[in-house]
Amino acid sequence: MTSEHPAPAQHAHGHNNRPDPELYRTEPVSFVRRGERLNPRRQKTWDRSHGKFIVEVPRDRATTSVAEGTDIHWDQVFGRTAPLVVDIGSGLGESTAQGAIDHPEWDFISVEVYTPGLAALLVRVEDEGLENVRGVQANAPEVLDRLLPAGSVQEIWVFFPDPWHKTRHHKRRLVSPAFADRVARVLAPGGVLRLATDWSSYAVHMRAAMEAHPQLANAHPGRATGEDSPLTRVRLEGRELEVGAQPLAPRTGSARAGVSEASTGAGLEDPVDHEGGWAPRFEGRPLTSFENKALRAGRLVFDLTYLRL
């Protein structure tokens, strides 16, 4: 849901001569390049406030990279020691800002590569007079690996990441077994990982990756199974009616090209979800633009919550 972009010290519409990050990164990035132009209000806010609220990090060639050996002391950045919440792929900043409003005793790090998204967050920060928010324009895996010490984070939020529907693009999905390793390293014991997606294929993928990690435990094991499971409803009701411009048939037929059978129930002997483990909707998440779009399209939202053992 994000893109490669100019470094924070530049104007959002500045020219980018950096090399493609995939030419040297060992893992595919989970985002694509997008337009960086800001509307007048966001541009003025960016120019005025990014120096304070966007944390400058040393780059390793690409504009969203984080150089190895980077050492940031977050207590010095925020001017205090407080529980850290990291919102990855924060979009327009709705969840980050609402969390900071609801919990002034916590500090929030918004990780987002899309400049207009961070600029929208800065507008919210200024409007609400928030001091417990900072943004980082960088690739999330590198932030987890290089900017956050082991056991330093209380919560990690990943809401509505890009689902990368086609099988050949699944390697780009942010949430993966490698991501679970990174999360387990930076979360403090008892820390929380919150995930949400509106696509059943990605939800199944998320659940499998997290359930397999020995240091992460589902906070709601066995919850919402059978007919109470949103996965069962999607499979039986054919709720995910479109992926791009391709309509999906209900489960009485094969899954369309590039769409996981987990989304339709096609090819499954039993479309009923007997595993469950879906969390209640996180009350601290406002109705973001991404979630609202999904609900308007008739899709269901899958929440997952994991605890660091």
269 located within any domain = yes
Domain membership of residue 55 (yes or no) is: yes
In sequence order, what are the beta bridge partners of 155? 85, 192
CA distances from 42 to 5, 11, 200, 208 (A): 16, 11, 34, 39
CATH no. for residue 208?
3.40.50.150
Mean pLDDT confidence for 3-24: 39
> Within a domain: residue 15?
no
pLDDT at 197: 97
> Is the pLDDT assigned to residue 249 strictly greater than 50?
no
Count: domains in the chain: 1
How many Cα atoms sit within 13 Å of 48 on the Cβ side?
Answer: 10
In a domain, 248, yes or no: yes
Asked if residue 238 has pLDDT above 90, the reply is no
- Asked, for residue 11, whether it belongs to a domain, the answer is no
pLDDT in tens, 205-214: 999 999 999 9
Active site annotation includes 162: yes
Per the domain annotation, does 112 fall within a domain? Answer: yes
Domain of residue 40, residue span? 21-308
Residue 140 lies in a domain: yes
Give this prediction's pTM: 0.84
CA nearest to 156, candidates 204, 88, 55, 77: 88
- Annotated active-site residue in 87, 107, 162, 273: 162
Neighbours of 295 (CB within 10 A): 13
| Residue 2 covered by a domain | no
User: Does residue 283 have a pLDDT over 70?
Assistant: yes
Sheet holding 133-136, edge to edge: 133-136, 107-111, 84-88, 153-159, 187-197, 302-308, 216-218
Tens digits of residue pLDDT in 37-91: 899 999 999 999 999 999 999 998 788 999 999 999 999 999 999 999 999 999 9
